[in-house]
A and B are shown apart, each in its own frame.
Chain A
């Protein structure tokens, strides 16, 4: 299936690490066209494979998340061969921008925790949970984007990694508010996950030790 919008005209609004994002007109309404661009540092065949897989995977996972009530842009079209997704335009700042500008974001983090809990309970792991991948058009509704690394799994390891990524984003970028914002996140997360939260947090600790400390990090293959 080729997208009818490959000959699009639009203005580039963001250049992320993986993709370029354009604001286009889709049948009369504003829409976002996300195009994954080739990476010269990867072998051609590997690069083409990754872009294709992530593109089709992203729309599938966005759809799953939407079905279980998580705010996610609606999908309008997809073309895996071109690495193109066309989706609903969500106007608003990212949670990263809002937090860096010192807005009162505790209640948003609680909602983020709530929705991440919903995903985890429904066997969806986002895979790239940072504040840059959450758009906040209105304070009661944070939207999640960038599902290219998402997974369909209920494994504690994957869920723990998701929470670790959120915590690490706070530590690296919002370091003066780590406690406050992570606690807010956990309040919302616990509403959905209940008693499972303690197990997840234990896993998060284990993951962090493994990556950071020499002894845990040595390969044991025998």
Chain B
């Protein structure tokens, strides 16, 4: 049997700074994450980056002590180089480079979207799923084919998590917005009319946001609004997921990313999977949002397949596309 490998991974693409430690059997030895909560409005990249530098030493130290490991016992450092917000990415990259040099460890480049996919596969045991990846910054439907994850559907404008958060802010709901919308939606009774925009295998959410905000200003019940917003947004996503499932003929469907925790979205996608005799799985809640463990686990997969990067070449890639990444471990 191959030697056990332990990888420490750092996530810092957006509002979460995380450190995870995972071994080559897929055991999550530590997963410590600290999320920046803006006082008001959306993410300010520089403020978020400042938060990351502030919490980084403590997050990393806590992760090591949770795993009961010292840096010497870690085999490699995995860094989430993108896609994401430049200033935030640079904090993680700078720390990882410093750790790699100071402790003489190999550095492993990890794509954030690939990490959300791999952690979902690890935790569900699925081998070749159609992937629905939904978070604050991403809405992607993908599947593996011939060396890479290929994109079969996506948003044409804003991401699903972004839609829910932005609406919650407009409605002055307390943080975190997404879960609040979900709670209120459960008490919704009336389906209000909103735009349903599907184009091919893609969705468009910006028109939905504008229309929902307009209804808000007209004084509709907030419960009905949340229910209607979710019903439209999730039905659109379920439809394009179904299109991709029929098109790719995959037999597994997995939901990952921060919005995966939403139970109504899970319910809809489960029905899509059932229609096409596919198995359905969801990433566990603790690993659905941005986290260090998914970077560490993807780092393990990459490392044992010889993927490392020179420190001098470890530039951040704010626009690193999912379908640009070679996947040698499948």
Q: Could you list which residues of chain A lie within 8 angstroms of chain B, going by C-beta atoms?
A: 15-18, 39-43, 45-46, 50, 127-130, 132, 149, 161, 165, 168, 171-173, 175-176, 207, 209-215, 217-219, 221
* Cβ of B223 under 8 Å from chain A: no
Nearest 5 CB-CB pairings of A with B: A17-B246, A165-B200, A41-B268, A17-B243, A214-B137
Give min CB distance, A200 to chain B, whole Å: 15
Select which of B13, B151, B157 is within 8 A of A217 by beta carbon. Answer: B157
Contacts of B202 in A (CB 8 A): 161, 165, 211
* Cβ of B238 under 8 Å from chain A: yes
* Cβ of B242 under 8 Å from chain A: yes
Contacts of A40 in B (CB 8 A): 271, 275
Select which of A42, A130, A217, A221 is within 8 A of B247 by beta carbon. Answer: A130
Give min CB distance, A147 to chain B, whole Å: 12
* Cβ of B111 under 8 Å from chain A: no
Tell whether A213 pairs with B158 under 8 Å between CB atoms, given A132-B247, A165-B201: no
Residue of A with least CB distance to B238: A41
Select which of A50, A128, A219 is within 8 A of B206 by beta carbon. Answer: A219
* Structural contact, B158 and A46, CB atoms closer than 8 A: no
* Cβ of B220 under 8 Å from chain A: no
Give min CB distance, B100 to chain A, whole Å: 25
Select which of B155, B156, B268, B323 is within 8 A of A171 by beta carbon. Answer: B323
* Structural contact, B318 and A217, CB atoms closer than 8 A: no
* Structural contact, A217 and B319, CB atoms closer than 8 A: no
* Cβ of B42 under 8 Å from chain A: yes
* Structural contact, B200 and A219, CB atoms closer than 8 A: no
Q: Please tell me which stretch of B116-124, B191-199, B252-260, B306-314 contacts chain A, meaning at least 4 of its Cβ atoms lie within 8 angstroms of it.
A: B191-199
Tell whether A175 pairs with B199 under 8 Å between CB atoms, given A17-B243, A213-B318, A219-B163: no
Contacts of A128 in B (CB 8 A): 199-201
* Structural contact, A211 and B319, CB atoms closer than 8 A: no
* Structural contact, A214 and B272, CB atoms closer than 8 A: no
Give min CB distance, B266 to chain A, whole Å: 11
